[in-house]
Structure 1
Amino acid sequence: MNIIPTNIPDVLIIEPKVFSDSRGFFFEAYNAHDFAQQTGVTAHFVQDNHSRSVKGVLRGLHYQVENTQGKLVRVIHGEIRDIAVDVRKSSPTFGQWVAVHLSADNYRQLWIPPGFAHGFSVMSESAEFLYKTTDYYNPGADRCIRWDDAQLAIDWQLDEPPVLSDKDKLGVPFSEAQLLP
């Protein structure tokens, strides 16, 4: 696997080694030993999630104030623009964000450590998104920051207003969000 740093050192792009021929392809999506050795991150994943969304859907920016989750995310169908925002007040990259293009064609994965809000927008007709988490979903600790927060000024590269869930429509401004220490 190839590890590509982002402008936030804790967030990493992971490119697996893909073996392809006329029959199709094969790649190792996750190997705990190799992941730890090459990233320096020892993650214990406890939950796998799978979502499907249609073009124009934007999900996020979500995080938990308790049971913070590290996420290893990838797309198995379609393409998305994936966003990670550092919500750790003590971090030198607090309030900064990373955007990565993930698709079924580029096989890339993104490691988002605990302490980041996460969201994505669907760029293709539909997309299926898989992610592993390092802690369980805790509805009482779940928080949402507005996707279009002026202070964060995230470039979602949208052609039209996104399709949002009721939860995402109620996201709070970054300046009012309950953030992590």
Structure 2
Amino acid sequence: MKCRTFFSPDMSTYILLTESTLKYMYAFAQRKWNQTEAGGEIYSTTPYSPSLVIDGVAGPHRKDRRTRHSCNPDVEATTKARHNEFARGRHAVGLWHTHPEPIPSPSGQDRRTTEEYLKSFGDDRDRYLSIIIGNRGEVPEMTVWSMEKSGEWQRWAEFDGQTVELHTHLS
């Protein structure tokens, strides 16, 4: 397994998802008909940098309400996880969840939820990310989106073959 890197549409910002973060999220891919959606928040120690390293992930939580096509988080557990990550120097920069489809795309509810999270940060964030894990491939298909402060919804592009070079640059 390797890290994965995604660039914003204008190529000015990228995120690098660490192997441990990816492995954790992949474990919840909905590969069988009876698996429920899972999700949570993603974290970075550099929330204002144009090069975000996503090295923390939380969720799902035991009391989340989960079905095949939805995941409603346990607010208390989510808040506790966010405070624990903040105590470790990590800031919430987005959400992650699974979809029971090969190439995942956001639903209207996914967009509204991401926008609500961004608004809750006030002027503290320019964007909030949404990572969706699909169910196709040994390494699951994955899409990355962002809700921008301007109200624009953007899809980020994966850059294959760049991860080693970028990872070295970040070290």
Asked if TM exceeds 0.5, the reply is: no
Question: Could you say which structure has the larger radius of gyration?
Answer: 1
Instruction: Report the structure, 1 or 2, having the larger strand content.
Output: 1
TM-score (normalizing by structure 2)? 0.31
Instruction: Report the structure, 1 or 2, having the larger helix content.
Output: 2
TM-score (normalizing by structure 1)? 0.30
